[in-house]
């Protein structure tokens, strides 16, 4: 399939290093945030989520940080592996109502051995 | 268990034609959403359906329409295709259509539409 990351900012890291991907969200009324991973030819895959009443949430090798003051999200990936190479999107949503997610522009993560 | 399935995977059309894209949600999911992803950008919300009713519509022209069937599968229709409609069209499903901690949105692999 076509790459979704042709014109996106790229973060290049060495295998085993930690990665930090940043995202600025747009709506101060958003209260639920999600990070997705998208590999070439596939749809977005859920990684981790966080609500606005939290500032940090940890998963397996991933951590999401939320700073509501400056409307900023970050995704930290520990011990980055080649399989982590993909495009990463943050998405925001206003809880309740319907399922409209607003996606950020995306960042391509390239992991080098 | 099968995930969200979409058909066809690739499609080539010419300007002015009509296209129908199909989506089958995960078994048990009653809500289907459609997103458009232009190359190099994040997905953009087009529609959401829940229990066969439209629950939300994004900022897309009336050339875009959709429907949901009694078995919860869905079709996205686009009339009078323009070159700018070339994109990856993603379908996503969830149980009740209210994405939150307790209800994740699951995406299919999409239909790549090329308009020549």
Domains (ranges, CATH) in chain B?
5-115 (2.60.40.10)
Share of chain A above pLDDT 70, in %: 91
Q: Are strands B5-7 and A107-112 parallel, antiparallel or unpaired?
A: unpaired
List the beta strands (DSSP E) in chain A.
Answer: 10-14, 19-24, 32-38, 45-51, 56-58, 62-67, 72-77, 86-93, 102-103, 107-112
pLDDT mean over A41-55 = 94
Q: What's the longest Cα–Cα distance across chain B?
A: 42
What pLDDT, on a 0 to 100 scale, did the predictor assign at position A2?
38
Residue A6 has pLDDT above 60, yes or no: no
What pLDDT, on a 0 to 100 scale, did the predictor assign at position A1?
35
Q: Which of B40, B46, B111 to mutate to test the interface with A (most CBs of A within 10 A)?
A: B40
Residue A5 has pLDDT above 50, yes or no: no
Length of chain A: 113
Residue A7 has pLDDT above 80, yes or no: no
Residue A4 has pLDDT above 80, yes or no: no
Beta-carbon separation of A100 and B37 below 8 A? no
Q: Does B25 touch chain A (CB under 8 A)?
A: no
pLDDT mean over A33-60 = 95
Q: For chain A, give every domain's residue range.
A: 10-107
CA neighbor of A54 nearest in space, from A35, A33, A75, A70: A33
Q: Does B47 touch chain A (CB under 8 A)?
A: no
Q: Which are the contacts of A69, defined by CB distance < 8 A and separation ≥ 6?
A: none
Q: Retrieve residue A59's tokens.
A: 């998963």
Q: For tokens 């009740």, name the residue.
A: B96
CA dihedral B5, B7, B12, B18 (to 10 degrees): -120
The minimum CA-CA distance between B78 and chain A, rounded to whole Å, is 20
Sign of CA dihedral B26, B30, B31, B32: positive
What pLDDT, on a 0 to 100 scale, did the predictor assign at position A96?
63
Cα(A64)–Cα(A58) distance, integer angstroms: 6
The minimum CA-CA distance between B37 and chain A, rounded to whole Å, is 9
The SS3 assignment for A19 reads strand
Beta-carbon separation of A4 and B33 below 8 A? no
The SS3 assignment for B108 reads coil
Q: Which are the contacts of B107, defined by CB distance < 8 A and separation ≥ 6?
A: A36, A43, A44, A45, B4, B35, B90, B91, B92
Q: Tell me which of A17 and B97 has the higher pLDDT.
A: A17
For residue B94, give the nearest of A5, A6, A99 by CB distance: A99
CATH H-level superfamily of A10-107? Immunoglobulins (2.60.40.10)
Q: Tell me which of B22 and A99 has the higher pLDDT.
A: B22
The SS3 assignment for B15 reads coil
pLDDT in tens, chain B (116 residues): 589 999 999 999 999 999 999 999 999 999 999 999 999 899 999 999 999 999 989 999 999 999 999 999 999 999 999 999 999 999 999 998 777 777 789 999 999 999 99
Q: Are strands B10-13 and B111-115 parallel, antiparallel or unpaired?
A: parallel
For residue A105, give the nearest of B33, B41, B105 by CB distance: B41
User: Comparing A90-99, A103-112, B13-22, which segment has the lowest mean pLDDT?
Assistant: A90-99
């Amino acid at each position: 399939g076509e790459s979704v990351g042709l014109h996106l900012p790229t973060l290049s890291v060495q295998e085993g290093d930690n990665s930090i991907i940043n995202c600025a969200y747009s709506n101060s009324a958003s209260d639920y945030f999600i990070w997705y991973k998208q590999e070439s030819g596939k749809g977005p895959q859920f990684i981790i989520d966080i609500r606005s009443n939290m500032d940090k949430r940890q998963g397996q090798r991933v951590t999401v940080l939320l700073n509501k003051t400056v409307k900023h999200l970050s995704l930290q990936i520990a011990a980055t592996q080649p399989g982590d190479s993909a495009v990463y999107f943050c998405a925001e949503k206003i809880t309740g109502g319907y399922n409209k997610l607003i996606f950020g522009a995306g960042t391509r993560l390239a992991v080098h051995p | 268990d099968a995930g969200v399935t979409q058909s066809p995977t690739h499609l080539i059309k010419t300007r002015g034609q009509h296209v129908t894209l199909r989506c089958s949600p995960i078994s048990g999911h009653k809500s289907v959403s459609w997103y458009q992803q232009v190359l190099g950008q994040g997905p953009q919300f087009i529609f959401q359906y829940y229990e066969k009713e439209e629950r939300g519509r994004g900022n897309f022209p009336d050339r875009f329409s959709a429907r949901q069937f009694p078995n919860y599968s869905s079709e996205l229709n686009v009339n009078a295709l323009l070159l700018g409609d070339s994109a990856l069209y993603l379908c996503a499903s969830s149980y009740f259509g209210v994405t939150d901690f307790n209800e994740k949105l699951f995406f299919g692999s999409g239909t790549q539409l090329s308009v020549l």
